[in-house]
Amino acid sequence: MKFFVDSADVAEIRDLVDTGLVDGVTTNPSLVAKAGRDFFAVLREICALVAGPVSAEVTATAADAMIAEGRKLAAVAPNVTVKVPLTWDGLKACRALSQAGTAVNVTLCFSPAQAILAAKAGATFVSPFVGRLDDIGHDGMALIRDIVTIYRNYPGTIATEVLVASVRHPMHVVDAAKIGAQVCTIPPAVLRQLAKHVLTDKGLDAFLADWKKTGQSIVAG
């Protein structure tokens, strides 16, 4: 499974990229607003930090305007993936941009039917939102399972990758990996939580306490 960082915080992304665990980045207008900086400056910096796809979202709602914005975003760097909403106009924009060779991430997917349309429109990625479905009493992971199952039925036809979004906790990542989704986009705090376990911390504390009792030093020795 590929890990994308869901953030527009350049310092945070840089720190996580240094681990070698990051395969790409996703941004959206809300994340860019939190960064409080010029959008294109942030996008250029992120694209320079990350070798993999960097999703940048259009803000227009009409197809022609989305296509124009998508072309401008794609011109920023070769690894930009243009993000469009899963609306009728978004699907039209996806088709036009993907046919022109631009990678497209179709976002705000909440049903298997929508995911089928995204694949038909040529999406590079489709982003189903698991956390937001969980918030309203639905099973977000059931949606991931359905989309992965459908896409696997057409291995020679559908190349769209399932990009699990709205991830709220480590089990979302684990469950998505079990199902076989190709990508998870993960908030920095959740990505760090993946490495945490109380028994790891407890075991390390015990090892260090025992080593301290020996009075030895690996470096000095």
Catalytic residues: 83
**Amino acid (1-letter code) at residue 71:** R
Distance CA 22, CA 14 (A): 10
Which amino acid, one-letter code, is at 167?
A: V
Size (the chain), residues: 221
**Whole-angstrom Cα distance, residue 68 to residue 121?**
17
Tokens read off for 195: 């490495």
Q: Which helix (H) or strand (E) holds 126?
A: strand 125-128
Tell me how crowded residue 216 is: count the other CB atoms within 10 A of its CB: 9
Q: How far apart are CA 199 and CA 209, in angstroms?
A: 15
